[in-house]
Structure 1
Amino acid sequence: MSLTNRALWTIDRNLGRDLSLAGIAEACGVSRHHLAHTFREVAGRPVMDYVRGRRLSDAAKALAGGAGDILDLALESGYASHEAFSRAFRAQFGATPEAIRRRGSTQGLVLAEPMIAPSRTAPPLPPPRIEAAGEILAAGLGQRCAFEDGPTITGLWRRFGPRFGEVGNRVQPIPIGVVADPDDEGRFAYLAAAEVRDFFGVPSDFERLRIPSRDYAVFAHDDHVSTIRQTYGAIWNEWLPDNGKTLAEAPTIERHMPTFDTRTGYGGLEIWIPLG
């Protein structure tokens, strides 16, 4: 069973209990960082968004069936008050809990039903090399993104490219991308950056990130850069669990190859996956 389907099973089996991203990840034997990446990529929505959708959908069915006390239903759905539950319910369905109870039907509501992650053919992954890296210092332009925000990341690189030469003390003549700090809603920090020896030659408006030393599984992505999500999905959902590895709570690094062509998106890059 894939990691995403293990998470889906855990959620639906425990929907009436306290659920958090960290708790679901622990039940699946992976880090919250690993689960956040994988679930959003494969299921198409953040973990806790799916949990809320499932709980509110079950609540809608109960209301349509004549459930009496909305506060009890709110508490069962993980909300501390009638007001918080009603806000979330209306945001999800465009109607109040009272309206659905009066209507006695969920017709017209888009309910979140239990799902099974679709099987799909993963791109062939050549065996990675395992590499120990010392501390990495990165400096550049950053932005919080969602996993599907390819155009946002492309725009970030477009802004950073002309300023790469402003960075002093560069370790490599080629920039790196850094993926870090995913949250419960499936967003993460992306940094288009230069790897530097120290931060003294860095423009004042650049973000600075110090990445501790650790081991990485290094994967080659030789296809067009626009297909990189497929490679990530295969790594997170299949290679890591199949090989008994876990994604550490640490940044992932994208290193462009010397042959990478910014005009065409071809030329290849490496994905450095931090191992727990």
Structure 2
Amino acid sequence: MPAVQRALWYIETHSTEDLSLVDVATAASISAFHLARLFRAATGWPVARYIRTRRLSQAAAELAAGAPEILPLAIASGYGSHEAFTRAFRDTFGLPPEDVRKRGSLEGLPILAPIRVIEEPVCQAPELRTERLGPLLLTGIEASYLASDTAGIPSQWQRLHTEQSLPRHRYSYGVCSATDGEGRFDYLAGYEVDHFGQAPQGYRRLRLPRQRYVIARHEGHIGSIPQTWRALLGEWLPAAGFIPVDAPDFERYDAAFDPGTGYGGVDICVPVE
């Protein structure tokens, strides 16, 4: 049931907007009634409650990180007043938002992490091609993930698109780097700049040297791209005789990709010998 996958992706990439069940169902291309049943069956959550709890969880994380103002968080979470937000926050977490900010920690709170449901089968191996790319000067928002839990990446992209007007004639990049023995890696949601003086304050700056890459096109919904990554690294590259090198790999989004729907195609670029 790929509709749930599309719904989850839409919720995470539009979490600061006024979302209704009908909005999410429209994005998932099914009726609201059908989505409500599918969503609960796949995740265990009603759609509206999932949206509400995810927004409050995101607000709690910002408060624990020291967010100075509560009202902007309340509005971004879909509440029209400080009081309404505080009531919902207390009902969900058992204490008011001010206490989380004072504690500076999410320890003990029933935070809801984003859920990922992988539903679409991986397509047959696409045509692989090689290309020398770089050097690339990139800037963007970076976060750390476990390879087994990357469901927070859509929210990372939403923040980037909210804060920056990305030029349509240039690529956007999702760069995976710094993998450790525990399966944790850094993911940069970013874009190319001419020089690092163009990087906004607080954004990560990353230089990728010129390198040979194998490029595979992911044609399905962006929510199923982890499956394509696994197939490419575990099956398609070895079968074609390519040997990856120890360097960042990345997703490359061109003007054909629509961040509003999650469709349009993405290039997966893996550095090889």
TM-score range, shorter chain: 0.5 to 0.7
Match of 2:194 in 1: 197
Match of 2:181 in 1: 184
CA contact (8 A) 1:141 1:193 kept: yes
In the TM superposition, 1:40-119 aligns within 5 A as: none
Give identity over the alignment, percent: 35
Question: Shift of the alpha carbon at 1:172?
Answer: 4.7
In the TM superposition, 1:123-142 aligns within 5 A as: 123-142=123-142
Stretches of 4+ aligned residues off by more than 3 angstroms: 170-174
Which amino acid in the other structure matches residue 160 of structure 1? L
> Is residue 158 of structure 2 the alignment partner of residue 161 of structure 1?
no
Match of 1:258 in 2: 255
Aligned mates of 1:124, 1:257 — CA distance in 2 = 22
TM-score by length of 1: 0.52
**SS of residue matched to 1:200:** helix
Question: Shift of the alpha carbon at 1:171?
Answer: 9.9
Which amino acid in the other structure matches residue 226 of structure 1? G
Match of 1:97 in 2: none
CA contact (8 A) 1:172 1:195 kept: no
In the TM superposition, 1:239-254 aligns within 5 A as: 239-254=236-251
Which amino acid in the other structure matches residue 216 of structure 2? F
Which amino acid in the other structure matches residue 124 of structure 2? P
In the TM superposition, 1:210-229 aligns within 5 A as: 210-229=207-226
> Is residue 148 of structure 2 the alignment partner of residue 151 of structure 1?
no
**SS of residue matched to 2:164:** helix
TM-score by length of 2: 0.53
Aligned mates of 1:205, 1:243 — CA distance in 2 = 40
Which amino acid in the other structure matches residue 176 of structure 1? Y
Which amino acid in the other structure matches residue 137 of structure 2? L
CA contact (8 A) 2:169 2:255 kept: no
Distance 1:217 1:160, change over 3 A: same
Q: Deviations over 1:185-239 (max 9, x none)?
A: 0010000001112101111200001111110011100100011111111111111
Match of 2:170 in 1: 173
Which amino acid in the other structure matches residue 157 of structure 1? W
Distance 1:139 1:171, change over 3 A: farther
Question: Shift of the alpha carbon at 1:125?
Answer: 1.6
CA contact (8 A) 1:123 1:230 kept: no
Structure 2 portions without partners, runs of 5+: 1-120
Question: Shift of the alpha carbon at 1:253?
Answer: 1.6
Q: Deviations over 1:11-49 (max 9, x none)?
A: xxxxxxxxxxxxxxxxxxxxxxxxxxxxxxxxxxxxxxx
Aligned mates of 1:192, 1:258 — CA distance in 2 = 16
Aligned mates of 1:273, 1:172 — CA distance in 2 = 23
Higher relative contact order (CA closer than 8 Å, sequence separation 6+): 1
Match of 1:268 in 2: 265
**SS of residue matched to 2:174:** strand
CA contact (8 A) 1:171 1:196 kept: no
Which amino acid in the other structure matches residue 214 of structure 2? A
**SS of residue matched to 2:264:** coil
Which amino acid in the other structure matches residue 143 of structure 1? A
Aligned mates of 2:250, 2:241 — CA distance in 1 = 21
Aligned mates of 1:150, 1:163 — CA distance in 2 = 21
User: Please, what is the CA RMSD of the aligned residues?
Assistant: 1.9
Aligned mates of 2:184, 2:169 — CA distance in 1 = 28
